[in-house]
Amino acid sequence: MLRQDAERFMLGKYLSDKKIPWQRRRRLGMTVAGNTPTASFLTKIGMMQSAGCWLCKTAQEARGESTDGLADETHGHINNAGCEGMATTVTAALHSIWRHLYDSMHAAQKPKSKHKFVTLDQESNMSTVWRRKSF
């Protein structure tokens, strides 16, 4: 999404694809427009009293901690691992994306390439890499 013009092209393609359910396209459109119905947005338009994240509040209350100074519930907040209620889910999603990216890079690797993916199916550290490679 950092490539110039690529993100707008992909966004337009997604939003105009009739095969994708309307609810998903509408949700993405709301996100891009910055009006996702989060507590922050609802507070901004006068529909809620507090912009504090209820997921973080629930997690802090479960631990018996104070809920003072809660982070604002914004789209960015609930979609990153900093939100206490979403951290596990967001981390799992990021790991899944990484695994897919890693598998795709491995599948696209040319047979004659000297570069090897050392951690495709298992964790590696310098000790295990050293044992596999004969110098």
* Residues near Zn ion, by CB under 5 A: 53, 55-56, 83
- Rounded to an integer, what distance in angstroms lies between the CA atom of residue 133 and that of residue 113? 16
Amino acid at 122: Q
Q: How far is the CB of 57 from Zn ion (least distance, A)?
A: 8
Q: How far is the CB of 87 from Zn ion (least distance, A)?
A: 9
- Rounded to an integer, what distance in angstroms lies between the CA atom of residue 98 and that of residue 103? 8
Report the residue number, 15 or 59, with the smaller CB distance to Zn ion.
Answer: 59
- Rounded to an integer, what distance in angstroms lies between the CA atom of residue 51 and that of residue 57? 11
Report the residue number, 51 or 83, with the smaller CB distance to Zn ion.
Answer: 83
Q: How far is the CB of 51 from Zn ion (least distance, A)?
A: 11
Q: How far is the CB of 96 from Zn ion (least distance, A)?
A: 21
Chain-centre distance of CA 116, in angstroms? 27
72 φ, ψ (degrees, to nearest 5): -65, 140
Report the residue number, 21 or 69, with the smaller CB distance to Zn ion.
Answer: 69
Report the residue number, 25 or 75, with the smaller CB distance to Zn ion.
Answer: 75
- Residue appearing with tokens 């939100």: 83
